[in-house]
Structure 1
Amino acid sequence: MGAKPSVWVVGTFDTKGDELTYLAGLIRQAGVPVLTVDISTRGTASQADLSAFEVASHHESGADHVLGGSDRGAAVIAMGQALRRLVDTRCKAGSILGVLGIGGSGGTSMLASALHVLPYGMPKLLVSTLAAGNVAPFVDVYDIMMFNPVTDLAGINRLSRMILANAAHAMVGMVQHTVPQAAADELPAIGLTMFGVTTECVQAVSRLLGTDYDCQVFHANGTGGRTMESLARAGLLRAIVDITTTEVGQHLAGGVCDAGPGRLAAAAELGLPWIGSVGALDMINWGARDTVPSHYGDRLFHTHNAHVTLMRSTARELARAGEHLAARLNQSPGIVRLLLPMQGLSAIDRPGAPFHDPEANQALFSAIERHFVTTTRHKLEILPWHINDPEFAMALATTVRSVLAQ
């Protein structure tokens, strides 16, 4: 049982058996094969195709490590690890069409980690009582659909019956209807980073390259940069065109668009061609104005909208960002091309605009020139344009073509 490719319906059958059986039945009625999987941490017998003991046995320390203790928290963590290993193994064997999981806080934590090992594009649907809150820890950089059950997952009622049916039919639709192939799917994929204030540049570069490359644009909001680097590590990108490296400055200053300390690491790890710039490093993002930390009270701010406040980066912050950027890029064994727009870093960093500050920008440029190590494979280009000037976009596109032709 289970060798045939199937949709996996996963959850704790000891507490949510009725809901899981209902979901599996609807999917089977639609003509899609199903494998039910129990991740109950009590290990009690259930009607699932794969029992909790079978799942737990995939833990590197064995089933007893998962089911043999009295600490529920430890058991939940261990079961999540076992499920992840099981899903990874069966997915690589071609046994999984998609995964539909349901859970409260414990179930969601076990399921999310397992969904992360599935390839991009494979249907991943998680019905979770946490779906109306902050889902970032569960979705992370993956294409997971989280579904709010509205009521708790504690039996079938007139509302849950309808909502769970929608989840089951959504999974059926994703599995039965394949994605139409497009001509762009045959082109080499490149990842580009963009902010609203670098949109002109990124869109122009995409137009210039779009006939020969599948241009995948990522919002440099923290998650976006990490997602792009995750795709690079998965072998899904031919090159990184990192026009908007604001996430580096955000991380160093504590802004809300922080991609973490690993930003820029993918190119260094993989030797992947990296062509980029310093877009939007002139700003640090916060939420609404009243969420900005009080110790920044005397700084220059610009209200982007009711929920986003921009803070102008200082010369000191930019120097630190430049040093960090250069140090990261120096580590790459691959081709690196860093292009500097000397006339401004964003749409609001030009004469007459609120963040125009050439002296602060010079601190960034000077730090990069001081720390960036030029080699036959690593080159720095200083250009007399603003980042959103057509000439700068052309220079970027020309560089991408030149690098990828090598």
Structure 2
Amino acid sequence: MKRKTILIVGTADTKSDELLFMKHCIEAQGGNPKVMDVGVLGDPGFAVDYSKHDVAKTINTTNKAIIALGDENKAMTKTAEGASKLVSQLYSEGKIDGMIALGGTMGTDLALDVASSLPFGVPKYVVSTISFSHLIPPERISPDLSMMLWSGGLYGINKICKSVLRQACGAVVGAARASQKLKIDKPLVAMSSLGKSALKYMVYLKPELEKRGFELVVFHTTGQGGRALEWLASKKRFAAVLDFSLQEVVNDVFNSIVTSGKDRLENTGLNGIPQIIAPGSINIVDIPTWQKPPKKLKDRPSHVHNRLISSVVLDKKELRKLAAKIAQKIAKAKGKTKLLLPLKGVLEWDRKGRELYDPETLHVFFNEMKSLHTPNIEIEEINCHINDQVFADRVLDVFDDWIEKGIILKQPVNA
């Protein structure tokens, strides 16, 4: 088996011991390590493969000019720009098979940009003192990024942080051996949803879309699922998008931590990808079960899904605000867009007899959406619940019509 080349990214002036340890670990696992220095002020304690000067030169500047910016944030942001471009070039030239970076907040900030410069499917690991932290906004996270908490790694090398680095290095070498370049042999259709206890249209639609020669990719709208959908849509990976769970848009508007970024519900339209949209789960906002709900939500009807996540209903005023935001987002669409409004409900828990049943409040949202629609968006009301077979059948009617008209193309996209 060919030895896989793993690029190690870090500040070799301050983390030389750690980077050398990682280099030895990758070699011990049968990998071929290369080191890129992204330090700014100091010099590395060993010979690196790609220096800070190489990084600066890639974006037509110098390390001296970067230092002259006189601000650590500006300097590292500029260095991140150079590192990202150089890493992208190295991969396109076939010189690396994966990357691993380490750092605190400064190194992580840079590493997230570097990881995003690589295509989906290329192993990318970040070992960080802030892994899994809410300091990291979702829009900075690549959909296939792996992170490990760098326990005990703030200052100096020790047995605890060595254990983490060994595992991380073994993981990236193993991933590089296992990974294959992503080749799409069927056109992909993206779909957003929650689990079947809340939304279940994918059960009806998946086999039907497969019969038509498409492969369905379902994204779980609990934050990072929507982030992955938006990232891949921005790369024009999809033949069509069925965006039927807008939970993350709700959460962003009402400041829930279960968010996927400010651009949720935008990249599909901006990139001209045909999309059918439905307001699945728009009547609830998510909160962590393990936190006390905000005072204004405390006495509202709610659904406790598990020990991690609960959902609380929105009122009429909030639904009007949400409708305005959704209308603003989909009005940006450059491709064919249709909004389906299932009048009998948008979530399994709002059916008649269930704990969130409130048709009067829900119809405030529908009416607001109809009043705000723009000429480039088609709106259609359907007298059913979003989880009814009738809804899925109507989706297929629209889908088939768009295939016949050449709006949805039956060919794979290998961007």
Q: Give TM-score scaled by structure 2 length.
A: 0.86
Residues 130 and 321 of structure 1: CA distance in aligned 2, closer, same or farther (over 3 Å): closer
**Maintained 8 Å contact 2:236/2:273:** no
Give the conservation status (yes or no) of the 8 Å contact 2:319–2:364: yes
Write out per-residue CA displacement over residues 127-170 of structure 1, whole angstroms, 9 at most, x where no aligned residue: 22223644744862431111234332655544444432222222
In the alignment, is the contact (CA less than 8 A) between 1:5 and 1:94 conserved in 2? no
Q: Which residue of 1 aligns with 2:304?
A: 303
Aligned position for 2:331: 330
1:89 is aligned to 89
What are the equivalent positions in structure 2 for 1:3-402 lying under 5 Å apart? Answer: 6-45=5-44, 46-59=46-59, 61-68=61-68, 71-131=71-131, 133-134=133-134, 136-137=136-137, 140-152=141-153, 154-179=155-180, 185-196=184-195, 198-211=198-211, 212-288=213-289, 290-373=291-374, 378-402=377-401
Equivalent-residue separation in structure 2 for 1:157 and 1:318 (angstroms): 53
Q: Give the conservation status (yes or no) of the 8 Å contact 2:152–2:158.
A: no
Partner secondary structure for residue 235 of structure 1: coil
Distance 1:90 1:247 in 2: 35
Report how far residue 68 of structure 1 moved: 4.2
Per-residue deviation at 1:195? 1.8
Which residue identity is paired with 2:96? I
How far 1:78 moved relative to its partner?
3.0
SS class of match (2:40): coil
Offset at residue 277 of structure 1 (A): 0.6
Q: Is the 8 A contact 1:338 1:379 kept in 2?
A: yes
Structure 1 residue 100: Cα displacement: 1.3
Query: How many angstroms apart in 2 are the aligned matches of 1:248 and 1:153?
Result: 36
Residues 90-110 of structure 1: CA distance to partner in whole angstroms, max 9, x if unpaired?
333333211111222322222
Q: Is the 8 A contact 1:249 1:318 kept in 2?
A: no
Secondary structure class of the residue paired with 1:368: helix
Return the alpha-carbon distance in structure 2 between the equivalents of residues 180 and 141 of structure 1: 16
Give the Cα separation in 1 of the matches to 2:187 and 2:334: 21
Supply the AA of the counterpart residue of 1:227.
A
1:314 to partner: Cα distance: 1.7
Matched residues, percent identical? Answer: 25
Cα separation, 1, equivalents of 2:107 and 2:257: 28
The residue identity in structure 2 corresponding to 1:27 is: I
Contact 1:198 1:244 in 2 (8 A): no
2-structure distance, mates of 1:132, 1:251? 19
Structure 2 distance, partners of 1:180, 1:40, is 31
State the Cα RMSD in Å: 2.8
Unaligned runs of 5+ in 2: 407-415
Instruction: Write the distance in 2 (CA, Å) between the matches of 1:329 and 1:76.
Output: 35
* SS of aligned partner of 2:126: strand
TM-score, structure 1 normalization: 0.88
The Cα of 1:360 is off from its aligned counterpart by 1.1
Partners of 1:161 and 1:107 lie apart in 2 by: 18
Distance in 2 between residues matched to 1:239 and 1:181, nearest whole Å: 19
